[in-house]
Amino acid sequence: MLKSVSGLSVPLPALTELQSDYLRQASELWNKSVNFGSSNGEGAKAPIPDRRFAAPEWQSDPASSFAAQLYLLNARTLQKLADAVEGDEKPRQRLRFAVQQWVAAASPANYLATNPEALRKAVATQGESLKEGLAHLVNDLRQGHMSQTDESLFEVGRNVATTEGDVVFENELFQLLEYKPLTAKVHARPLLMVPPCINKYYILDLQPSNSLIRYAVAEGHRVFVVSWRNADASMAHMTWDDYIETGAIQAIELVQEITGAETINTLGFCVGGTILATALSVLARRGVQPAESMTLLTTFLDFENTGVLDLFVDEAMVKMRELTIGPDSPTKGGLLKGQELAGTFSSLRPNDLVWNYVVGNYLKGETPPAFDLLYWNSDSTNLPGPMYCWYLRHTYHENNLVKPGTAVVCGEAVDFGELDLPVYVYGSREDHIVPWDAAYRNLAALSGNQGRTRFVLGASGHIAGVINPPAAKKRSHWIGNGTAKAPATAQAWLEKATEHAGSWWPDWSAWLARNAGPMVAAPKRPGSRQYPPIEAAPGRYVKQKA
């Protein structure tokens, strides 16, 4: 790390220009501050162009106004300075990320003594806001994470994850949920959903109004969902192969056995899509093609462009993980704690996911509003160390899964090009976890399906773009022009795509129906004679806390 940083430098001309610009703008800002409120300082009370300083107190108080504007000037200058640095690309990116974190943390809005809005509220409430803020802080310290919503208002199985169904199978890794039909007839081919194991499945079943699971059931599909177990010490030895063989492959075979269907439709979300595609590739190597179709939602198959997350991954970091919680550790395993992953993802958007709550929860003593998505986001999961280390090395670090025959999983050489089935690929345009152009690269990775891949782009981010029910009439999505051969680049595709208002779900539903077979009578009971119901959905596994 020291060697890479020592190779960075700022060209003297760029440094000189930045210094000159900074002194000029700082002088102008000081002059406006000196004339604050006078006839010569008419522009001093203009709104500050940053929502952190939107409250009237920031404009009405000269010291606060000056502090906020000087902070913004310093932030812009530091970011320009980081952009001007020359050297190797990854150290430059890490430097920019570090500057972003420091700039976000240094805002005067984040500290009671320099936040006039919080100070005014403390005076107006006679200190009650500070008392409430301290209570929120103590509660968050006790629960081990910062509250992003009022978690007391939600309970899994009561007002989130409420679609009616049953657990029809369980092993040490997952429970298989089958949902009760909402239609008299269902498609002959069932649908299996594989959610990410780094979060809990109920992002797909938050509430009836925004549940993708309930939507699929209402569209006439017999739906099964994998509910991953929250890893504990008994799972610390589990590997990527376990998640493929004992997880996704076993779930696929169970759905076939329970329903009697020769082939099934499949869906994977985020890393669940990576697991699903890997499992189907392993089965293809074994001469088995159990999937009639595959849907990939904000999924990496090709990890060439992983966006900001690439900053955290290099050989030293991967090796450190392998030596501490991976197969090379003294205990041959360990756990990656869920809060560590949650903290990493929050750092990608520090103002929105960290400091916003510091100010609201602690300085102002406000209880964050109820929001089901943020409740799910706080319900973190642990991962087995060996599984995580394999995934880290072979995807983010070495990108082996997309190289035919390079990655060996469950004794088989993975080759996504052997998957010959229709595929629906969805990406979110503002996704900071799976950049949409990276999702588009899945089309090239799935070259063996003879052009039967449909790519759809949704507005918004990694989660909000996916969980966008039609009834909400929000956002939009883009669909390609229907040519058999997809353009080589994501940007070329977008230039020819057509934007449509509202949710992408109906487009996916129509595509899925074409692969789901004829309508048959809906089953009267869940499971089968060999796999009777164990307990009602959502089951025990999803309720386990990290």
Q: What are the catalytic residues?
A: 270
3-state secondary structure of 519: strand
- C-alpha 164/C-alpha 181 separation (Å) is 9
Query: What is the DSSP track for 325-393?
Result: TSTTSTTS--EE-HHHHHHHHHHTSHIIIIIHHIIIIIIS-PPPPP-HHHHHHHS---EEHHHHHHHII
- C-alpha 401/C-alpha 274 separation (Å) is 9
The separation between the first and the last C-alpha atoms of the chain, rounded to the nearest angstrom, is 32
- C-alpha 321/C-alpha 392 separation (Å) is 9
Cα angle 183, 500, 271 (rounded to 5 degrees) comes to: 65
SS3 assignment for 135-148: HHHHHHHHHCCCCC
| Burial label, 116 (beta-carbon count in 10 A; 0-12, 13-18, 19+) | buried
The tokens for 426 are 């969805």
Number of residues assigned to the chain: 546
* CA atoms 356, 358, 360, 363: torsion sign: negative
492 Cα distance to chain centroid? 25
- C-alpha 46/C-alpha 177 separation (Å) is 56
